[in-house]
Each structure stands twice: as C-alpha cells, then as structure tokens.
Amino acid sequence: MIILNHAYVLNPTSNEFEKKKLVMKDQYIHAILDCNTTIEQENLYQNIDASSLYITPGLIDACSQIGLKETGIRWEGNDSYEPTQEINTILSVVDGIYPFDPSFKLAISTGVTSAHIMSTAENVVGAYSAIIHMDGATVDEMLITNNVGLSFSMGDVPKKAFFDFTKKPLTRMGIANIIRQTIQKLRVDGLPLDFPFFIRCHRADDIETALRIQKELQANFTLVHATEFALIDTDAKKEISQVIAGPVFQAIERFELKNLHPSLFNQLQTTDILSCNATDHPISSVSHLKLESSLAIREGVSRNNALRSLTTDAAKILQIDHLTGSITTGLYADVVVWDQHPLNLTAKVLSTFIKGKEVYKGSDCK
C-alpha cells in the first residue's frame, strides 16, 4: 500500500496535471484525493512525499517486438516471425517472448509499463498479438491480454522475405489475395466478424488496398505505420478508424520510407481518427517512445494530445482502457513519477510502478 502525496497527477478527463494524493493498493489505483484528505488507516501505508513531481499513467508502446526479438542477439534470439509458416497456420507471439530480455529494464526506466507485442513484417500473415506488462518472471505473469488481434503485412518487407525463402516473386496482388483468403478461412472456422486485425502498410497504395479489403470483408482493421497517410484521398481517409503511427525516428533506408516524417502525427490529429505512437522495437529502441511524441509536438500537436497518445489513446486502440492507460480508480496501478513534465526532453523517470509494485527507482531518488 503506497501513497504518493502532493504530486501533479494527470487527470484523465481534463488531461491536465492537478495537485493530488494518489493511493495505490492491491495492484490497483485505490483513490485520487485532495492532498489534505486523509484515508482510513493511512498510517499503515508507505507515504511518499512527491511534492513538485509529475505522475502519469505508464506509457504504452502500441507496436513492439520487445522480448520477441532479443536485444544484442543475432538469429538465435529472433523469434519475431516464422519463415516456413503455412498460410493456414496462425502463430501466437506469447510462445516466443523471452521475459529476461534486458530491454524490459530499459523500458521501465523510460516510463514504458506495457507493450503490444506483434510479429515483425516479414510474414504476410503474422501472429496473434498480445499485450504484456514490462515486468515479470514468466510470460504468463506479464500477460495483460492474449490473442489481441492478428497482424498482416503489406509492401516490400514481406515481398523480400518471401523471395529470400522461396526464390519466387510475391506481388502486391498476391499479398492482397493471401490476406483476403486468410480472413475468409478464419471466419469459416468461427472467428467473430469484429475480431481485430492490425495491418502494417507504408505506401499510399497499400493503405488504399487495405481499406478496400476492409470494406469488402467488413473487417475490423487498425493501420500500423500508415507512413503515406497524407497521400491518400479524402474519401479513403474517412474509412480509417484507428492508426498506430510511426516510428518516425528511424533511418530512411528503404524506398517505402522516403516520405517518412513526424508531420504524420499532426496530420492524424486534425482528423477524427484515433491514433497513437509506437517504436516497433528493436528497429527503433523502446526508449524512443517519448521522443516520438516530442517530435509530434514539434510538428504542432499539443502536449496534452501527445501525452494522451502514449497513454489513454493507446489503451483505447488496444481495448485495454478498462485495465490501464489512465490514472483512474480501479485500474492497474501502472504509474510513472517524473521530475518535470514528462514531455520535456530533459525529463527523468524517478520511479516506475507496475500493478502497484515499484519496479524501477532512478539514481536521483532518495
């Protein structure tokens, strides 16, 4: 049982910081109170003076391979895709996550408390994804939600991976056909109509193909990356409901990324599309998640909206906003304490809590 007192706590409704007393008990946020309000048996709590500090929900990386593609390890630690996968065989990322990947410690030291784990882009038909906390001795202990959705990939990455393995070409027509056939087969096998699909696409033509398939099959698509969102026409944009955008902080080393730019975040914010940010770790380090939002601010996104995209909006897209993503009574106590506003480039994480347990304490803490 822990009380963080006199801190600037992020209000989930106004999205403003307010001076409050935050009470965590039995893995959950127990109460958010005025600083001078006392609670029953308060003397039994660990009472921490957090004066002048800022408290946010834990950041959520909405697309990551942390633990699936191990940091610093070659092919031996890469369990992010299956080269020999048959079209009709669907894998699950939980079977490949390594809970002792050192990147988990890096994540919590930068305020990231949970991540949506997706297979990489090499397979047209990826794996069933999962959402995990960044702390735990086993994958089952870390797991928040399993079988969140199924990932698909379009564009040059699956084309190259297919050719490298089969020495046969794979066209965009072929990719679209595989996606259609897979969805249709899964529905015959009993998959619900509203089951979520996460579809990786960068180029404008791939985005429009994804939207065409979505309309044909009445599928529930969330676009991932959507790099050339600005190039699709207005009517097509109206068909998009959710986007996991980025990462924009990465090398432009493929032709498909030639239009990659942080202005993507502002372009999305000016629409009714629900969007959030991601690092797609380890292509871009998990520690860069906050930097993605800092780049969004540079392009005109407000600090409030940029912070919401890392917390509340990410939780809504992943359908875990009833579990985490905001400082709300009854949700998991996934909480980060910062020495200043978290989107200041010089902001440091002083403490990270996951389910009410302090899993990281910065060197600046007493």
What CA–CA distances, in Å, run from 281 to 80, 136, 230, 338? Answer: 11, 19, 24, 23
Q: Are 273 and 307 in contact (CB under 8 A)?
A: no
Backbone angles phi, psi at 127, to 5 degrees: -125, 165
Give the pLDDT confidence score for residue 85 in this predicted structure: 59
Give the pLDDT confidence score for residue 366 in this predicted structure: 52
* Residue in the block written with tokens 């995990």: 132
Count the helix, strand and coil residues of the chain and give each as a percent rounded to the nearest 5: 30, 25, 45
Token code pair at residue 259? 């239009």
CA-based nearest residue to 53, from 112, 90, 6: 6
Residue type, 142: M
CB neighbours (10 Å) of residue 80? 22
Mean pLDDT by 10 residues, the chain (366 residues): 95 94 96 91 89 97 93 83 70 95 94 97 95 97 97 96 91 96 94 96 98 98 98 96 95 93 96 95 76 94 95 98 98 98 93 97 72
What CA–CA distances, in Å, run from 162 to 81, 166, 170, 206? Answer: 12, 6, 7, 17
Give the pLDDT confidence score for residue 229 in this predicted structure: 98
CA-based nearest residue to 124, from 157, 169, 91: 157
**DSSP string across 170-229:** --HHHHHHHHHHHHHHHHHTT--TT-EEEEEE-SHHHHHHHHHHHHHHT-EEEEEE-TTG
Give the pLDDT confidence score for residue 324 in this predicted structure: 98
Q: Are 178 and 125 in contact (CB under 8 A)?
A: yes
What CA–CA distances, in Å, run from 303 to 294, 296, 314, 341? Answer: 8, 9, 16, 10
What's the CA gap between 118 and 211, in Å, rounded?
A: 20
The whole-model pTM stands at 0.95
If DSSP codes are grouped into helix, strand and coil, which group holds residue 6? strand
Q: Where does residue 220 rank: exposed (0-12), middle (13-18), buried (19+ CB within 10 A)? A: middle
pLDDT tens, residue by residue, 16-66: 999 999 999 999 999 999 998 988 888 888 999 999 999 999 999 999 999
